[in-house]
Amino acid sequence: PPSFVSIYLNRTWIGLRFLRALRLMTVPDILQYLNILKTSTSIRLAQLISIFISVWLTAAGIIHLLENSGDPPDFSNAYEVNGTRGLSYWDCVYFMMVTMSTVGYGDISCKTILGKVAIIIFIFGGLAMFASCIPEIIDLIGTRPKYGGCYKNERGRRHIVVCGHITYESVSHFLKDFLHEDREDVDVEVVFLHRAEPDLEFEGLLKRQHTRVKYFQGSLMNAMDLERAKVHEADACLVLANKYCQDPDAEDAANIMRVISIKNYSDDIRVIIQLMQYHNKAYLLNIPSWDWKQGDDVICLAELKLGFIAQSCLAPGFSTMMANLFAMRSFKTSPDMAAWQNDYLQGTGCEMYTETLSPTFTGMSFSQASELCFVKLKLLLLAIEVKSDDGGDSKISINPRGAKIPANTVGFFIAQSAEEVKRAWFYCKACHEDVKDENQIKKCKCKNLATTKPGGPAQSSMVNATKPANNVKKNVSVKEEPKPNMNGRPTNKAAVQQKSAKMEVGIADDQAKDFDFEKTEMKYDSTGMFHWTPARAIEDCILDRNQAAMTVLNGHVVVCLFADPDSPLIGLRNLVMPLRASNFHYHELKHVVIVGSVDYIRREWKTLQNLPKISVLNGSPLSRADLRAVNVNLCDMCVILSAKVPSNDDPTLADKEAILASLNIKAMTFDDTIGVLSQNNGASDSLSPLGSPIVLQRKGSVYGANVPMITELVNDSNVQFLDQDDDDDPDTELYLTQPFACGTAFAVSVLDSLMSTTYFNQNALTLIRSLITGGATPELELILAEGAGLRGGYSTPETLSNRDRCRVGQISLFEGPLASFGEGGKYIDLFVAALRNYGMLCIGLYRFRDTANAFDASSKRYVITNPPTDFNLLPSDQVFVFIHWRGRKTSSV
């Protein structure tokens, strides 16, 4: 103890108490024990600071002891200041810092020999420590994550958390749609959470949107980072997928793990996730807190992409129309543009919106309400939300018939902006019946009074106009007259069906051609939504080139599939199932002929084996002999797909096979003949697993350029190579290019907008999915999640009633009952007549790009979404419609 040393020396002894400063080195360990220090950065920073302070204070204590004690043996030369003996400890601390920092003011210096020796030793050690510790401390402090910290939620403002595949491209596309000016009052802040720091280009985007966008660096798998982003307070969490990844299953697994982490942290948060592969949707059902009814949703890119393409097989160009509807775009027409471009651009400005129908619509049928909206309000009413009587889940009914609209029904509209759709809520029959300008339909003060007379005179007259047709249908059997052609292009197929279908069709029958088919026990799947057949081995459906050539394929779908035996599965089921929807009669189903590698298709076959009318040609989509064998010139649609993994070296080459196949078909020429095949020709029937041969083969395309075709692209910029006669700039956005406007190209990137659409309108994805997939239901999702494929089911009144739903169609104005409108008619007249007489809801036109009869006129068509009411029609136009399963008969009774 210092007191004993003082007695021995007979003088004051300062002692070695300064060595206690070395205990500061244990502070980091203590903080770790207390779970205060958790990150490696904070632990290392604490260690450096404690070492630096401990050495500094200990060295100051040594100088303080030596200078105040003097040199032995007599200790007479102790430090003196102005004749006063002694140097304070804090002076020594100051002196050591000045020495360590190499500043050296000189106001204090060592007087004793021991002090000078100690300072020499300290200079060597202290300077080394100072030179190493201080820069590292500054580096650790300075390199705290720029995008660390916590999200501070402003009072009353919602926020969403976006994670997953976060890059400049994905974020810019997302924000462009999410923050679009057509969205009404988007008072939502977007918080991005990602492991990596944004690059300079990305940082510039964040700075431009800094008032509405925040970025935090962190991991979804870390609860601390989820806390920083205030995930538990977020309105929703969106998980983006990398559409160009090398391994789609691994990408899906990573995103599903992110969802598990989010749900584990906050089980009641709404999650919207993008998935690449359809079969991975089943894993989401295993998450206990995953609940579709609470707004959780999954956007399966493969399912929707192939579903869009499938609907284009039924109505060419429909994929373009739907893609433009759920993407937020503003159109700007110009007199310098071609007329077809202005027509197309006006349609791209239309989007899908929801709005509650005003009390005036209560008690109306859907067709009456849709006609009123279109004629009076200039709005296109597509569907309504129907609430179940037992208080269960509501469902979306597209162009329903029969039922009356209850109060407070939500309608789905196509319009240019959310402001226009408000007319459906503001419309009051008492105040607005005589208003001619739809822009004058605004909120009135007598809305409550208007609800007292739901059955006014105008309403009654509309009901009476449709009653005779309904009575005829209920009480008498009528002859089937020629129906509008539903197969895309004008063909001779309608004439064939007219000849073979002239027999009585009663209400108890299906169609006459389906009579034998109806006797089979199991012809639909267990949900009644899709046609079903007992499982077939793939060998029974494989054609060689000779068998295909001897089979009269006509009006079919050719799928050109590029795939290696080990390529990731793309889910061909999603392409074929919409074409096998039960709201088609069996004889209306188009044969699907897949041209590609059997080794790959064999891996997909488990999901296809229960779907009828599928054949496989083991060949190459680039082989003209194989394409001629499957009569590509007589097909209703040629679909070009690739399952190959994009190369990391040059992603732009990902579409090389699809582009080559497209150009190859366009360069082909075909024999201009009409083939006839006897129905009793047993040779062909025995060689072909396709089923009964077709009696009459229609005249096909002479030039490959006229073959209806849709090409799936991975990279948007490659669309410029599909059409050699277009003048699109390589930097043109996909939706503005000619192939996309014509419906001959489709890229998965157009589905990016669905994330924003689903967040703002939960029912929009349900509507799109029911349109695109042909009727997939949650019940069917659970069945497919088992992995055993579709299950057959016996026909019951309940499952058979599921057939009675709308489907997409395309009718021609060249012939048929609506041909009179093609001769200079107005679109509004066509809309009203089709709705009143046939229950068909017109949603757009498919028009020739060059309407002049010039020799070099192009055969390409383009899409016009929801044309204006006074739009002039042409005989060559085709009309996109939503048509009922049975359709309203054109009767002469």
**Residue 852: its pLDDT value, please?**
59
Contact 742, 350 (CB under 8 A): no
Give the global pTM.
Answer: 0.76
**Residue 139: its pLDDT value, please?**
80
Per-10-residue mean pLDDT of the chain, 893 residues long, equals 66 75 90 87 88 90 84 73 72 88 83 88 83 82 73 79 91 87 77 90 88 88 89 92 87 94 91 90 88 87 91 91 83 76 87 88 90 90 81 78 85 87 86 77 63 35 30 32 40 36 34 43 81 90 85 89 89 91 89 93 90 92 91 92 80 85 90 48 40 45 82 86 70 83 88 87 83 77 75 79 85 86 88 90 89 59 90 91 65 27
Helix axes 762-773, 753-760, angle to 10 degrees: 120
Q: What are the backbone angles phi and psi of residue 742, rounded to the nearest 5°?
A: -90, -5
Contact 715, 647 (CB under 8 A): no
Q: CA 33 from chain center: how many Å?
A: 47
Show the tokens assigned to 526: 């267990």
Q: Report the first-to-last Cα separation within the chain, whole angstroms.
A: 123
Contact 57, 94 (CB under 8 A): no
For the four alpha carbons of 307, 313, 318 and 323, in that order, the dihedral sign comes to positive
**Residue 557: its pLDDT value, please?**
94
**Residue 827: its pLDDT value, please?**
92
Written as one letter, the residue type at 243 is K
Written as one letter, the residue type at 78 is A
Distances from the Cα of 329 to the Cα of 155, 173, 303, 871, 880, angstroms: 31, 12, 24, 22, 21
CA distance 54 to 65: 16
Contact 762, 295 (CB under 8 A): yes
Contact 648, 625 (CB under 8 A): no
CA distance 385 to 412: 8
CA distance 494 to 487: 9
In the block, tokens 């590698």 appear at 597
Closest CA to 398 of 410, 388, 412, 408: 412
Distances from the Cα of 279 to the Cα of 288, 606, 859, angstroms: 19, 12, 39
Show the tokens assigned to 333: 């027409």
CA distance 20 to 26: 11
For the four alpha carbons of 20, 26, 28 and 30, in that order, the dihedral sign comes to negative
CA distance 164 to 221: 11
